[in-house]
């Protein structure tokens, strides 16, 4: 299965920008994770845009947790952009993701990473 329908990539300055959309759950999290890791293992900074995600379950959380851990280990910054409300924000908050990882505004997060 290809993850293309849920994930796409672009660059924002030095940061690798990952766009996620749709429902991320047990059925597709692994494929999405592989696609993201392939693009981010060597990235200087990573922005993951979750604003278009309509559902995020624990499998999705596990995937994000892994990527954050990987970036942290390498000393590279990462931000997860979520909306003010929405399914992704809810799930991440329920899982008590660190507040410094979450951002609500893509541009601001990009600037933070760039600076």
Residue 95 or 106: the one with the smaller Cβ distance to other proteins is 95
The answer to whether the beta carbons of residues 60 and 28 sit under 8 Å apart is no
How near is the Cβ of 106 to other proteins at its closest, in Å? 21
Residues of this chain that interact with other proteins (CB under 8 A) are: 23, 25-27, 55-59, 61-62, 85-87, 89-91, 93-95
The answer to whether the beta carbons of residues 102 and 112 sit under 8 Å apart is no
How near is the Cβ of 49 to other proteins at its closest, in Å? 19
Residue 57 or 112: the one with the smaller Cβ distance to other proteins is 57
């Amino acid at each position: 299965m290809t993850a293309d329908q849920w994930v796409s990539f672009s660059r924002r300055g030095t940061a690798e920008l990952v766009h996620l959309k749709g429902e991320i759950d047990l059925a597709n999290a692994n494929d999405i994770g592989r696609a993201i890791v392939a693009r981010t293992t060597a990235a200087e900074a990573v922005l993951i845009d979750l604003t278009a995600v309509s559902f995020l379950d624990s499998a999705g959380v596990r995937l994000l947790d892994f990527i954050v851990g990987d970036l942290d280990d390498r000393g590279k910054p990462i931000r997860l952009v979520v909306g003010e409300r929405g399914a992704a924000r809810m799930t991440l908050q329920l899982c008590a993701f660190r507040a410094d990882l979450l951002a609500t505004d893509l541009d601001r997060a990009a600037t933070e990473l760039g600076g």
